Amino acid sequence: MGDVPQWVFALGALTIVGTMNMIGVKWFAEMEFWFALIKVLAIVIFLVVGTIFLGTGQPLEGNATGFHLITDNGGFFPHGLLPALVLIQGVVFAFASIELVGTAAGECKDPQTMVPKAINSVIWRIGLFYVGSVVLLVLLLPWNAYQAGQSPFVTFFSKLGVPYIGSIMNIVVLTAALSSLNSGLYCTGRILRSMSMGGSAPKFMAKMSRQHVPYAGILATLVVYVVGVFLNYLGPLPRV
């Protein structure tokens, strides 16, 4: 697998996800369900195991867990405030696609009821899965135990001696990337159609298939993605 060019995997993933989005919204939802299930399952396992270690006070490699880790080793901002401010742009990027709730409202049977519920659920899910995971990571290990280029989840489970955790997390990251691709195609295709109907995009972007899929907008988005695959062909990213 290591000898296979990166662009082959990228093109294969783009072909599969793009085809499913062109067939119908049912297949988009089906793929997104399984992608999300894998991500959530991985986070839930971490939350459960991490909470057990934190609650029982079991040390990790000789380091005591607990709230004291917030102030130890240089305090809350060991390198000053500037790096934290720079990191905020990455945090904001991580919250992208929550607007997908509004985009999907047009295909709900009862948007007046379902959309408010979905918006409210997004808030507590972000608080539990995203913020909760970060807080737990801070309370389990000193900040300098985590390394650049390695997932903090891999760091934690590696210290527990979990075998093949790096490969397992690579699978989780891959499904997260496919989920981003899947939701990006869904959202962008429908936004382009909406812009076309409002006169802000070319008229052909408003075209729909018999399955009520805005295929013109999705195809336009796929063209942009193919450019990215071509750039990877010209200059592949270094393997890690």
pLDDT tens-digit profile of 41-63?
999 999 999 999 899 888 887 78
Type of residue numbered 73: N
Q: The pTM is what?
A: 0.80
| Domain boundaries defined on the chain | 6-234
> Is residue 156 packed enough to be buried (19+ CB in 10 Å), middle (13-18) or exposed (0-12)?
buried
**What is residue 106's three-state secondary structure?**
helix
Residue 33 contacts residue 178 (beta carbons within 8 Å): no
Please report, for residues 158, 164, 166, 182, the alpha-carbon distance to residue 161 in angstroms, rounded to integers and kept in the order given: 5, 9, 11, 34
In the chain, alpha helices (H): 6-23, 25-56, 81-94, 100-103, 111-125, 132-140, 152-159, 165-197, 215-234
Q: How far apart are CA 105 and CA 89, in angstroms?
A: 28
The whole-number pLDDT of residue 121 equals: 86
Q: How far apart are CA 150 and CA 87, in angstroms?
A: 17
pLDDT tens-digit profile of 149-205?
788 999 999 988 888 888 898 889 889 889 888 988 998 999 999 899 999 999 999
pLDDT tens-digit profile of 81-125?
888 888 888 888 777 777 777 777 777 778 788 888 888 888 888
Closest CA to 155 of 32, 21, 61: 61
